[in-house]
Amino acid sequence: MPPSQRSSMGILFLVVLVDMLGLTLVIPFLTYFVQDLASAEGIVDTGSRDFWVGIVIATYSLAQFISTPILGSISDRIGRRPVLMFGLAANSLFFIIFGLSGSLAMAIIARFLAGAGNGNIAVAKAYIGDISEDDQVAGRMGMLGAAFGLGFMIGPFLGGLLSDPATGIGGPFDTQFWSDYPYFLPCLFSSAMSAIALMLAAFMLPESLPKESRSGSSKSPISQLGATFTSIASVLRLPNISALVNVNFLFLIGFTMMHGTFILFTSMEPESGGLGWSERENGWVFAFIGLVGVVVQGVLIRPLIRRFSLRGLMLAGTVLTGIGIASIPYASADMSMLIFWSFCAAFAIGNGIYSPTQSSLLTFASKEGGHELGTIMGAQEGLGALARIIGPLLSAVIWSETVEGSGLWSYHTCFRVSGIFFLVALLLQLGLKTSDDARKTAGGT
């Protein structure tokens, strides 16, 4: 790899890592932060207060869904570098604003604008396509995948570690400012990371798209959002492929419902059925989940694929993830924490097995059917983004209506509904037709 390309790949790695930190660093403290803001505005009813947690989570995903095709289109016209720099600048600015938010409205606006700026992962992938030969693309895309895994592992850990520094760290942080803004430090850290990446991009990242290769289309970039829905509709008419895409849609709804309620459960007082955990404890468990996912996808998945069929592994991954998530609220503070951590390990392992096998099956089905792989994957990503909006919103509604209930309608309900989505995804998989060639091809990689 030429030195200039090595430098570019290093900066792109940092860009994607910063994007993932923006998504995952808030996981341990977002629930507590939003609850504090809601309570300060007089929203003291548990269900009504916790509803806003799902709203803030979904806001970020909604902004990314809207901005990703628009930023991609703009990068085709003006080049990749300015769009990547815009995303880093937006992340740096709006994370500071989010950490200083004094109201729900301010927090929602800051989170939306940060998500809009962070819709540039597709632009980073396009940059790789610009500078890579065909035989280099897979390896370099794998580097971005490593940045995803690393970001998911260290983001929650740092978010929990840096939360409430006045109490947890003390010393120079034991001041009134840090007591008034207990979640500003992790936001400041993410902002600083973005600023460093921005400076590196400004001085060291060359433009990858020559002027003569840029799009001269007269269509508005906003029209690309409509094209996303058109692409999704066309893919959903394809047999077998539509089933795989729908399976992933249902899987992601079930999985992202957990994003909205996991910490709502762990932060509940033990006498109410929760675990009474703090931001740091939640940071540790999400770091563990991320580590398990990295080990499964980085070490175990290849030998598993050689031994078992892709379809069988996808089924197993769905079952493990569904059981793990649906079991979470049945762990209580007076039980061994080994039981709770085993539930977390189950859905981390399941997700680690499911994701690469489903993507592989979709790739093989697309090639066998003679379909454009980019169109198919783009449609799946579009539906996946919608699932990341629907899941937290649905969990927010269910949790707010059931958290203070009993019997079938209690804080367990949201996790049960999540399990139902995995069950439907499993039933859809049972009707899939996959060829033995797919397994043989995968096993030889």
Domain ranges of the chain: 1-205, 233-445
Give the model's pLDDT for residue 175.
Answer: 94
Give the model's pLDDT for residue 320.
Answer: 96
Q: DSSP letter at 112? A: H
- Crossing angle, helix 46-78 and helix 373-402, to 10 degrees? 160
Class of domain 233-445: mainly alpha
Question: Token pair of 174, please?
Answer: 């034991």
The amino acid at residue 225 is: L
Q: One fold for both 1-205 and 233-445?
A: yes
User: What residues in the chain have per-residue pLDDT under 70?
Assistant: 1-7, 119, 134-142, 144-145, 215-225, 372-375, 378, 434-445
| Coil vs helix vs strand at 21 | helix
Q: Topology of domain 1-205, per CATH? A: Growth Hormone; Chain: A; (1.20.1250)
Spatial distance between the Cα atoms of 308 and 105, rounded to a whole number of angstroms: 50
**What pTM did the predictor assign?**
0.82
Give the model's pLDDT for residue 93.
Answer: 93
Give the model's pLDDT for residue 254.
Answer: 95
How confident is the model over 129-157, as pLDDT tens digits? 777 776 666 566 667 667 777 787 788 88
Give the model's pLDDT for residue 425.
Answer: 96
Give the model's pLDDT for residue 117.
Answer: 81
